[in-house]
């Protein structure tokens, strides 16, 4: 009943990709960054370790994507259009405010001071450079 939809998907950029091994399969998958990725293999956890671009991953033959869409509790608002390269599924944290906290020991600042100096000089942000230089020379 959905043949026309499937044909339309292939006509508008859909593809089947033949790969030589699992490593290449994961490489292609990470490039595509799919909304849904099904790992229908005997040991999906091994492959899962290498997946870094997917909206949701379904592990094993008993976890079809439809379970995530309707039953499992996985969010159905997933990154599409290859945006799983840099975005995650919608979740509570999407609406939370986060504050970055930075702690540095004196020895750590001394180690990075030359790099900070080079970057701040290149950007002509001399006061930024002085903020580090004065601390490490005291």
DSSP 3-state percent helix, strand, coil across the chain (nearest 5):
50, 5, 45
* E strand or H helix at 69: helix 65-70
DSSP 123: T
65 half-sphere exposure, CB direction, 13 A CA radius:
13
Instruction: Give the phi and the psi of residue 57 in degrees, each rounded to 5.
Output: -115, 130
Catalytic residue IDs: 35-36
């Amino acid at each position: 009943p959905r043949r026309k939809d499937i044909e339309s998907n292939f006509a508008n950029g859909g593809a089947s990709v033949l790969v030589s091994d699992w490593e290449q399969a994961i490489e292609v998958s990470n490039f595509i960054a799919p909304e849904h990725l099904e790992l229908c293999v005997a040991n999906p956890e091994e492959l899962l370790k290498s997946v870094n671009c997917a909206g949701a991953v379904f592990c094993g033959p008993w976890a079809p994507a439809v379970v995530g869409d309707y039953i499992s509790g996985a969010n159905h608002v997933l990154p599409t259009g290859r945006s799983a390269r840099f975005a995650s599924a919608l979740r509570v944290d999407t609406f939370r405010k986060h504050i970055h906290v930075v702690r540095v020991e004196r020895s750590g600042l001394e180690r990075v001071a030359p790099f900070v100096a080079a970057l701040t000089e290149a950007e002509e942000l001399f006061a930024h450079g002085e903020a580090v230089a004065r601390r490490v020379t005291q």
